[in-house]
Amino acid sequence: MHTRDLEPKIIWNHFEDINAVPRPSKREERIIQFMIDFGSKLGLETLRDAIGNVIIKKPATKGFENKKTVILQSHIDMVHQKNTATVFDFDEEGIRSFIDGEWVTADGTTLGADNGMGVAAAMSLLSATDIQHPALEALFTIDEETGMTGAKQLDGSKLSGEILLNLDTEDDDEFSVGCAGGIDTNTSYAYQEEDVPSTYAAFTIDIKGLKGGHSGMDIHLGRGNSNLWMNRIVYHLSSSTDARICDLEGGSLRNAIPRESFGSYVCPSNEMDGVRKAFDEIKAVILHEFSINEPAASIDFELVNENPAKMISSNDQKKAIAAIYTTPNGVWTMSEKIEGLVETSSSLAKVVFRDGEFKTKSLQRSMIESGKDDIANALKLTYELIGADVMQGGDYPGWAPNPDSAILKILKAKYVQLFNDSPKIAACHAGLECGILSKHLPNCDMISFGPTIRNPHSPDEKVNIKSVQKFWSFLVEVLADIPAKN
């Protein structure tokens, strides 16, 4: 069976349609035009604001004209990440999805269910002719994954809705009513390079197979960070030998837990046996520590015949290793107000040593502004201690929960009615756009929900088939219960 044959076909076909269009963050021109063409072909009012967000408006069906207008909001960009061994060109190819038991996943790449399922659901309501609903304003924002630029620069004057349904939550039994804010910290340090002596020998270390995942939603799961693993290995080797970094790159995306790291090194030829022994020792320790959380991880050592031309100086290597080792990573604090919720965290997403420059990228998140400032300062000071330049930006606010939300009460009652169970009401440790959108739409009552998605931002991303059916039926029923205008 093909993904397009799954029920409800209207959603799965729209999902496959958008997955055929390359849509990486910062390069959404093709998907923007696709959405404009989609709305225009339906004969619906279709707008594009200055930053590139697309808004498609559909009038209420008969008898629903006096209901409050609903904004259906999803982001059209997706995380483009693939396994190293996967041959795939994100700029030219459509995502190759397939059915794997109860799930839909992709062949060695991210699937784009985050937030493609929300986009497909909104498209389905816009194109459907047999569903009752109030007036709809489908808001498709850009660049959510790398800075929330679309939400930040939204032209709110183009929208009139009083209720906003954000379709970007990843558990079908959960409603999100709050989220973390975030800030990016990027650092750069110019290190001294030295010529590699002819008496040195070269080797590589590759780390692969870690689970990775969303650096907000999965930060508490104890998964390995390939950047920290590699740094720990280098520290161990250089503590007893003159092992030096020549070239190193770990991680890829700012909001994904890094899964891979690849390093090129040299050491004195007469110390190679000691390097290999030290490597075997620390490899065994790391894999033992993460034997449950990272069972598929691999750490490989290989001798190289030809030496690189340059290596980092010993003094600068010590500084860089110390900075990475002391970089806050993982859970910083837990919420005192909501049990089990991560309040503040950081993720060291990318590390690069190349051509005399040591660079890092990390993302700090918090449910409270003071927590975000605190951990961002910790990052800043850590790298300033070694003389690095620190650039912090991309700051976005959190979304404070509203326990008196009218739309929350409607959704809770409808969920109980349909599924004979109570939904989970939660805030999430991820950057939903609602916090930013509420600044542009201050009178809008907002809530977030969606189908069950696992391992977003990684090639293991998958969406549950039955959950999509549940999500769709629930969304349709909710629109039938939207209250009248005041």
pLDDT > 90? residue 121:
yes
Q: How much is the pTM?
A: 0.75
Domain at 195, CATH number: 3.30.70.360
Q: Which residue, 380, 396, 412, sits at the end of a domain?
A: 396
* Residue predicted with more confidence, 81 or 261: 261
Reduced to 3 states (helix: H, G, I; strand: E, B; else coil), residue 316 is helix
pLDDT digits (tens, 9 = 90+) for 58-96: 999 999 999 999 999 999 999 999 988 999 999 999 999
> Side chain identity at 127, as an amino acid letter?
S
Residue 84's pLDDT is: 85
Residue 380 CB neighbour total at 10 angstroms: 16
In a domain, residue 485? The reply is no
Residues 39 and 143 in one domain: yes
pLDDT > 90? residue 447:
yes
Reduced to 3 states (helix: H, G, I; strand: E, B; else coil), residue 256 is strand
pLDDT digits (tens, 9 = 90+) for 387-435: 999 999 988 888 888 878 999 999 999 999 999 999 999 888 887 899 8
Q: Which residue, 362, 396, 430, sits at the end of a domain?
A: 396
In a domain, residue 486? The reply is no
Average of per-residue pLDDT across 450-457: 95
For 176-185, 231-240, 273-282, which range has the lowest pLDDT when averaged over its residues?
176-185
Total domains in the fold of the chain: 2
Q: Do the beta carbons of residue 219 and residue 347 sit within 8 Å?
A: yes
pLDDT > 80? residue 457:
yes
Q: Is 29 exposed, middle or buried (0-12, 13-18, 19+ CB in 10 A)?
A: exposed
Residues 66 and 33 in one domain: yes
pLDDT confidence band for 449 (50 / 70 / 90):
very high
Residues 34 and 23 in one domain: yes
Residue 427's pLDDT is: 86
Residues 302 and 442 in one domain: no
Q: Do the beta carbons of residue 279 and residue 241 sit within 8 Å?
A: no
In a domain, residue 230? The reply is yes
pLDDT digits (tens, 9 = 90+) for 272-331: 999 999 999 999 999 999 999 999 999 999 999 999 999 999 999 999 999 999 999 999
Q: Which residue, 373, 396, 419, sits at the end of a domain?
A: 396
What does the alpha-carbon distance between residue 481 and residue 165 come to, in Å, rounded to a whole number? 13
In a domain, residue 383? The reply is yes
Beta 136-141 vs 54-58: how paired, if at all? antiparallel
Residue 410's pLDDT is: 96
Give percent above pLDDT 70 in the chain. Answer: 100
pLDDT > 90? residue 481:
yes
Residue 286's pLDDT is: 98
Residue 337's pLDDT is: 78
pLDDT confidence band for 486 (50 / 70 / 90):
confident
Residue 176's pLDDT is: 92
Average of per-residue pLDDT across 52-63: 98
- Residue-averaged pLDDT of the chain: 96
What does the alpha-carbon distance between residue 102 and residue 107 come to, in Å, rounded to a whole number? 16
Residues 254 and 385 in one domain: yes
Residues 122 and 236 in one domain: no
Residues assigned a catalytic role = 77, 144
Residues 327 and 237 in one domain: yes
Q: Do the beta carbons of residue 233 and residue 357 sit within 8 Å?
A: no
In a domain, residue 50? The reply is yes
pLDDT confidence band for 147 (50 / 70 / 90):
confident
Q: Do the beta carbons of residue 312 and residue 193 sit within 8 Å?
A: yes
The domain in which residue 128 lies consists of 3-180+398-480
Residues 126 and 246 in one domain: no
Tell me the CA end-to-end span of the chain in Å, nearest whole number: 48
Residues 382 and 426 in one domain: no
Residue 399's pLDDT is: 86
* Residue predicted with more confidence, 191 or 179: 191
Which value, to the nearest 10 degrees, does the dihedral of the CA atoms of residues 471, 476, 479, 481 take?
A: -100
100-103, long-range: CB within 8 Å, 24+ apart, which pairs?
Answer: 100/462, 102/464, 102/465, 102/466, 103/454, 103/462, 103/463, 103/464, 103/465
Contacts of 407 (CB under 8 A, 6+ apart): 163, 165, 445, 446, 447
Average of per-residue pLDDT across 137-154: 94
Residues 208 and 297 in one domain: yes
